Amino acid sequence: MPERRTVALVTLGCARNEVDSEELAGRLAADGWDLVEEAAEADVAVVNTCGFVEAAKKDSVDALLEANDLKDSGRTQAVVAVGCMAERYGKDLAQALPEADGVLGFDDYAQISDRLQTILSGGVHASHTPRDRRKLLPISPAERQGSSVALPGHGDSAPEDLPEGVAPASGPRAPLRVRLGRSPVASVKLASGCDRRCSFCAIPSFRGSFISRRPSDVLGETRWLAEQGVKEVMLVSENNTSYGKDLGDIRLLESLLPELAAVDGIERVRVSYLQPAEMRPGLIEVLTGTDKVVPYFDLSFQHSAPKVLRAMRRFGDTDRFLELLEAIRSKAPQAGVRSNFIVGFPGESEDDVAELERFLAAARLDAIGVFGYSDEEGTEALGYEDKHDEDTVAERLARVSALAEELTAQRAEERLGETLSVLVESVDGEDGVLGRALHQAPETDGQVRLLGDWAEGSEPQPGQLVLAKAVASEGVDLVAERLPGGEASL
């Protein structure tokens, strides 16, 4: 028998990319490829790139160059770029980075096995010409369902006789998927694309217009993940608050969440990427009052000064945002809230920065990401006047970042004495037992270090829920003591 082909997937960027990598892994496994963890042990290294901001693009290029180095010292014979950066730049990336043996766009995902085999055999697959993917779907959201446009995470029905561990083991769902890790947490794609036109963001141009996955597919995938040992699912998309608008029901998320929470084996359902301008009282009610649905709000504020927000093509202001937070905390006082902000935006004044600082001081956010503005090609803001020089942007970034670090540390201190439901994620001799409370999303919002007197081999295991009391803080991280009884429910 010929030696089986091996492939490793290297994933950069957000949770949406992680889901896309697991879809690619599922397609490859279903076609006979062996998946390996290390690129040095693979015939082909597939790098799932990020194309959001300059720093992420640099990381993607570095990962491709690092994988290319393995062709001289390891088993690796080919390096292939996929993902947002590959989709956004296509043949231009291929020309600028000849070290990549292939640059594949989203349209290639359904034929990923054939594409990799061609490249591995010494053939050439032409890199695609980038295009504005917003123009591939009808303008009317109601007319988008059933489109033949390639949408990562929205696959066709799977073939029969799938290998073990490849979805859909428990019944029809789309697309194929293989778990690439053993974490008790997994993301589920709720939708793709975005209809908003924020002046600083290029994502809609290469991810396309907004289109929802059908509830039955989301439910089927969640059931399959539960069978794989997943305890927490995180719903991801570019804008979860728009879910269902192309299916005729803008409140579809409110009815879907209780169904997901009722899936056997799932202990937590977390929703990410919420637009403040689209928050609804009914959605707040479901997020704060449904068993096993986490009272967690990943709100994309971006700024709070009205003039800056309007230039960003966004809505709201400091007082409206504080009113939204008050509405949330009136329902769930311990709710977790995180957000990202851009400083140094064209035309931003010192008064605007002071207004943002006023909001941050009053908002009591658990996690804050601060980014300095940089030009992105294909965005409206690229043509704006009144741009700040790099030193001004860097100064404001440093100043607001320092404030954010201080405020989130204070917010963690406010949680001392709280009873926490902690999902254990790792156990090792050096770091001990680590997990996350309800207000902490994976990788972005800090963690909890659990203290307890455990006999050797009796420590809580990954996927277990532990009831604990917060006794100390370390920046945004918490230290907690396991409470008697120890087992927790949401």
Quickly count: other Cβ atoms within 10 Å of residue 12's Cβ.
23
Share of the chain above pLDDT 70, in %: 93
Is residue 273 marked as binding?
no
- Of 97-111, 115-129, 214-228, 262-276, which one has max mean pLDDT? 262-276
Instruction: Report pLDDT for 132.
Output: 87
Q: How far apart are CA 257 and CA 259, in angstroms?
A: 5
Residue in this structure with the two tokens 């002046």, named with its chain if needed = 199
Is residue 50 marked as binding?
yes
Rounded to the nearest integer, the mean pLDDT of the chain is 90
| 157 vs 66, residue with greater confidence | 66
Is residue 285 marked as binding?
no
Instruction: Report pLDDT for 35.
Output: 93
Q: At a CB cut-off of 8 Å and minimum separation 6, what does 252 contact? A: 212, 215, 243, 244
Nearest C-alpha neighbor of 217 from the set 156, 161, 265: 156
Which of 164-178, 279-293, 421-435 shows the lowest mean pLDDT across its residues? 164-178
Structure token pair of residue 61: 């290029």
Is residue 78 marked as binding?
no
Nearest C-alpha neighbor of 278 from the set 247, 305, 299, 307: 299
Q: How far apart are CA 59 and CA 85, in angstroms?
A: 11
Cα distance from N-terminal residue to C-terminal residue, the chain: 51
The Cα-based distances of 154 to 20, 35, 147, 193, 228 in angstroms read 10, 22, 11, 12, 20
Instruction: Report pLDDT for 168.
Output: 65
Q: How far apart are CA 479 and CA 127, in angstroms?
A: 50
User: Does the pLDDT of residue 455 top 80, yes or no?
Assistant: no
**Amino acid type, 158:** A
Is residue 84 marked as binding?
yes
Is residue 194 marked as binding?
yes
| 176 vs 372, residue with greater confidence | 372
**What average pLDDT does this structure show over 241-267?**
96
Q: How far apart are CA 134 and CA 195, in angstroms?
A: 8
**What average pLDDT does this structure show over 163-189?**
77
Confidence category of residue 56, pLDDT binned at 50, 70, 90: confident
The string of pLDDT tens digits covering residues 387-444 is: 999 999 999 999 999 999 999 999 999 999 999 999 999 988 677 899 999 999 998 8
The Cα-based distances of 137 to 40, 64, 132 in angstroms read 39, 31, 10
Confidence category of residue 155, pLDDT binned at 50, 70, 90: low
Q: Computed from CA positions of residues 54, 57, 62, 63, in that sequence, does the dihedral angle turn out positive or negative?
A: positive
Q: How far apart are CA 204 and CA 193, in angstroms?
A: 6
**What average pLDDT does this structure show over 146-151?**
81
User: Does the pLDDT of residue 161 top 80, yes or no?
Assistant: no
Instruction: Report pLDDT for 158.
Output: 59
Q: What is the CA radius of gyration of the chain?
A: 23
User: Does the pLDDT of residue 348 top 70, yes or no?
Assistant: yes
Nearest C-alpha neighbor of 185 from the set 49, 46, 22, 60: 22
Residue 189: beta bridge partners?
Answer: 236
Instruction: Report pLDDT for 439.
Output: 97
Tell me whether the omega of the peptide bond preceding residue 175 falls within 30 degrees of 0, making it cis: yes
User: Does the pLDDT of residue 156 top 70, yes or no?
Assistant: no
Instruction: Report pLDDT for 489.
Output: 47
The Cα-based distances of 130 to 86, 88, 93, 127 in angstroms read 9, 6, 10, 9
Instruction: Report pLDDT for 490.
Output: 43
Instruction: Report pLDDT for 411.
Output: 98
Residue 47: beta bridge partners?
Answer: 10, 81
**What average pLDDT does this structure show over 219-227?**
92
**What average pLDDT does this structure show over 365-369?**
97
In our burial notation (b when 16+ CB lie closer than 10 A, e otherwise), range 113-152 reads bebbbebbeeeebebbebeebbebbeeebeebbeeebbbb
